[in-house]
Copies of this chain bind each other. A is one copy, B any other.
Amino acid sequence: MGRRKIEIAEVKDPNTKQVTFSKRRKGLFKKANELSILCGVEVAIVVFSPGNKPYSFGHPSVDAVAAKFLEPNDVQGNGSPNINEVGDMEMLNQQLSNVEAQILEQQKKATKLGERLRKHEVKQLSKPRESQDSFSQLQHNTKDYFDAIEVSECLMLLAQQPVVGIKKRVSKKRRKN
A167 to chain B, nearest CB (A): 5
Say yes or no: A153-B125 contact (C-beta < 8 A), given A70-B116, A91-B33: yes
Number of copies: 2
Given A64-B106, A74-B109, are A48 and B54 neighbors across the interface (CB < 8 Å)?
Answer: no
The answer to whether residues A71 and B113 also contact, given A77-B53, A152-B125, A167-B169 and a CB cut-off of 8 A, is yes
Q: Which one of A26, A103, A148, A165 has the highest number of Cβ atoms from chain B below 10 Å of its Cβ?
A: A148
Q: Which of B43, B113, B170 is A45 in contact with, Cβ under 8 Å?
A: B43
Q: How far is the CA of A164 from the CA of B113 in the complex (A)?
A: 19
Cβ-neighbour of A114 out of B60, B131, B160 (below 8 A): B160
CB neighbours of A160 from chain B (8 A): 114, 117, 123, 173, 175, 177
What's the tally of chain A residues with a CB closer than 8 Å to chain B? 138
Q: Which of A107-143 contact B (CB under 8 A)?
A: 107, 109-110, 112-114, 116-117, 120-123, 125-126, 128-135, 137-138, 141-142
Does B24 contact A91, Cβ atoms closer than 8 Å? no
What 7 A-B pairs are tightest by C-beta distance, nearest first? A52-B77, A134-B159, A64-B106, A66-B154, A126-B149, A106-B148, A56-B151
Q: Could you list which residues of chain A lie within 8 angstroms of chain B, going by C-beta atoms?
A: 6, 8-11, 17, 20-21, 24-71, 74-78, 80, 82-88, 91, 94-96, 98-99, 102-103, 105-107, 109-110, 112-114, 116-117, 120-123, 125-126, 128-135, 137-138, 141-142, 144-171, 173-177
